Structure 1
Amino acid sequence: MKILANDAGQMAAHANIGPTAGEALPAGFSFTQSMKDALDSVNRQDAQAGQKMNDVDSGKSDDLVGAMLASQEASLSFSMLMQVRNKVMGAVDELIKLPV
């Protein structure tokens, strides 16, 4: 859960960086890189959860609770990523509707 909270905190921090009137984005900020990092993190969590589940299934590990928690964390991370994606797509749709 700490990983999920850290990821959520990082995404929230990036969401609050946006420029206000007359301000520019900090040097080195890249929305694209932030999204790639988030995708990599979610993918890594999913792979780790899958490995833990496979270990339990094959008898290599008896940590069923840890495997289930890892699976739930990966699921929540994916859900959060999808919500961010939906918000971004909604914002893009709104930008497209603006008069030129």
Structure 2
Amino acid sequence: MNLPINNITSPIANIANTSKTIAPGKAQANFANMLKNAINNVNDLQVMSDKKTEALAMGKIDDLHDVMITAQKASITLQATVEVQRKAIDAYNEIMRMQV
């Protein structure tokens, strides 16, 4: 399965070639919305996993594989979110240690 390299690099080149300037307030709002959506996505996956686990325990569904896959997805997204949080805190602490 060989993909041409230009199919991979063209979206990156498009991002790099944009010359639009975004106001700081707009950038902050975009970043805040992105974080909010990511956290909502993690929460939705956790809720879905809980509902499927409860339904399995009550005998409403029989597909154990689906329940386990949903639980694993929720677990992985939560772990990734925690790692991103740790990295963000580490970056903040590093910036705060810089001398002006």
Task: State the TM-score, normalizing by the size of structure 2.
Answer: 0.71
The 1-side partners of 2:77 and 2:22 are apart by 27
Task: State the TM-score, normalizing by the size of structure 1.
Answer: 0.71
Q: How does 1:51-90 map to 2 (within 5 A)?
A: 51-90=51-90
- 1:45 is matched with 45
Give unmatched runs, 5+ long, in structure 1: 1-16, 18-22
- 2:93 is matched with 93
Paired letter, 1:44: D
The 1-side partners of 2:57 and 2:93 are apart by 44
Higher relative contact order (CA 8 A, sep 6+): 1
Paired letter, 1:47: V
Which one has the bigger helix percentage? 2
In terms of Rg, which structure is larger?
Answer: 2
The 2-side partners of 1:86 and 1:31 are apart by 17
Paired letter, 1:86: R
User: Could you report, residue by residue, the CA deviation over 1:3-50 in whole angstroms, capped at 9, with x for unpaired residues?
Assistant: xxxxxxxxxxxxxx8xxxxx8864654222211111100000000011
User: Could you report, residue by residue, the CA deviation over 1:46-92 in whole angstroms, capped at 9, with x for unpaired residues?
Assistant: 00011011111000000111000000000000000011101110110
